Amino acid sequence: MPHHPADHNHYADLLRVAAICAVVLGHWLLTDLTYRAGRVTGHDALAYVGWGRWVTLLFQVMPVVFLVGGYANAASWTAHREESWAGWVHRRALRLLWPTAVYVGVMALAAAGAWAGGADAGELAQAGWYLALHLWFLPVYLLLIALTPALHAAHTRWGLAVPAAMATAAALVDVAILGPRLPVVGFANYLLVWGAMHQWGFAWHDGSLTRGHRPLGLALAGALLLTVLLIWGPFPVDMVGAGLHAGNTTPPSIALLAFAAAQCGLLLAAEPAAQRFLATPARRDEVTRLNRAAMTVYLWHPVPVVLVAVTLYPAGLVPQAGIGSWQWFALRPAWFAVLTVLLVALVAVLQRAQRPLLGLTGSTGRSPALLLGGLAAILPALAWLAVNGFAPSGHPPVLTLAAFACGFALVLRSGRRPARS
């Protein structure tokens, strides 16, 4: 039976599990791979189902992941204040980097094998892009882990004024993007928008955001701002893709932050009822068990889609209806069932295989320089893979993969104690 600290928040675990499940289902629903004339091609279902853009209001749950991440990082940092910055970041980062390294390594080998076997360059590039697209989350979140001690100190001093200032800055970045059209400035919003949600997690942890009616106030303010931005602003209702004049995720916009405020405020307001639901040990243990597999599920959930597309589709074992047709919708439950069975089996094997690796965190960090150097190589490498995939132009990106491998080695090395003379 899992052991939990007395103050462990199982509702945070439940939110993470639910959010990852929503991400998986959303990706499986909105991304459609087909096999036509001997070629595998990918399509965005939103381009065929116009009203589907409203559905993104249900499936855009990454704000919840960052909210829970902020809570978890605040809980960990406040419980280990005696630990050095390098030691804490080293340990927290490796919890993500070990399963990520396994995924990147396997995908790189698969891409290299397909390339060596003469796979069609266009198909390989598209499959490699799809299998790497969701990696965008990791460089952003790893950066927030590295900044957590500083950001938490700012929260301790200024409280909710910090995410408010970040929201104001994010709005100014949007103005710079839409007005003078300075696209490079938009990269700041990856930190400002997602970082503001991360700061809400700090405020959730110390109770400053959950006192009285503050969660409902956050939800109401977010809903009002989102309504104004969607009706009179340039932002689309699509919370996962791009609009005609502006998008909400690349880079993240103030509209996405307003949506996140409404979403997270309502979820925080529901915490007392959810905690009553989680009062039984059996439910808490089940949530804990699922939570331990969340990262593996997130990393590997695109793989069953590609497996079905390259095996069952060419063999004619799975019917392919036109995207958006009633037959397509009727087949969605069976589609989800097949992919779920494959993913559950894959995750079960991976959880067992990765278990020894997750314990290899090294000792307390002793080299901030090595840690910073490793993260400086890993973050851009993961961002590049998320944009370009595992096989741009039909072959593996050797330099990018080498940068990731070297960065990971540096992070591992940063946790080793110096040898005694």
Residue 184 has a pLDDT of 82
Residue 303 has a pLDDT of 95
Q: Which residue has the higher pLDDT, 419 or 54?
A: 54
DSSP state letters, 375-393: HHHHHHHHHHHHHH-SSGG
Distance CA(110)–CA(311), nearest Å, equals: 15
Q: Which of 73-87, 103-117, 193-207 has the lowest mean pLDDT?
A: 73-87
Instruction: Evaluate if residue 217 carries a pLDDT over 60.
Output: yes
Residue 362 has a pLDDT of 52
Mean pLDDT across 79-84: 85
Q: Which of 26-35, 251-260, 268-277, 341-350 has the lowest mean pLDDT?
A: 26-35
The SS3 of residue 325 is coil
CB 222 within 8 A of CB 260: yes
Residue 320 has a pLDDT of 78
5-47 pLDDT, tens digit per residue, is: 556 899 999 999 999 999 999 999 888 777 776 677 777 787 7
Residue 360 has a pLDDT of 62
Residue 90 has a pLDDT of 93
Instruction: Evaluate if residue 83 carries a pLDDT over 60.
Output: yes
**Predicted confidence band of residue 361 (pLDDT cuts 50, 70, 90):** low
**Predicted confidence band of residue 1 (pLDDT cuts 50, 70, 90):** very low
Q: What is the 3-state secondary structure (H, E, C) of 214-260?
A: HHHHHHHHHHHHHHHHHHHCCCCCCCCCECCCCECECCECHHHHHHH
Instruction: Evaluate if residue 321 carries a pLDDT over 90.
Output: no
CB 10 within 8 A of CB 284: yes
DSSP state letters, 51-82: THHHHHHHH--HHHHHHHHHHHHHHHHHHTTT
Q: At CA 392, angle to CA 390 and CA 397, rounded to 5?
A: 60
Residue 220 has a pLDDT of 98
Mean pLDDT across 157-184: 91
CA distances from 157 to 67, 160, 162, 193, 276 (A): 20, 10, 9, 20, 33
Instruction: Evaluate if residue 93 carries a pLDDT over 70.
Output: yes
Residue 322 has a pLDDT of 80
Mean pLDDT across 105-119: 93
Token representation of residue 257:
């932050």
Instruction: Evaluate if residue 419 carries a pLDDT over 90.
Output: no
The SS3 of residue 211 is coil
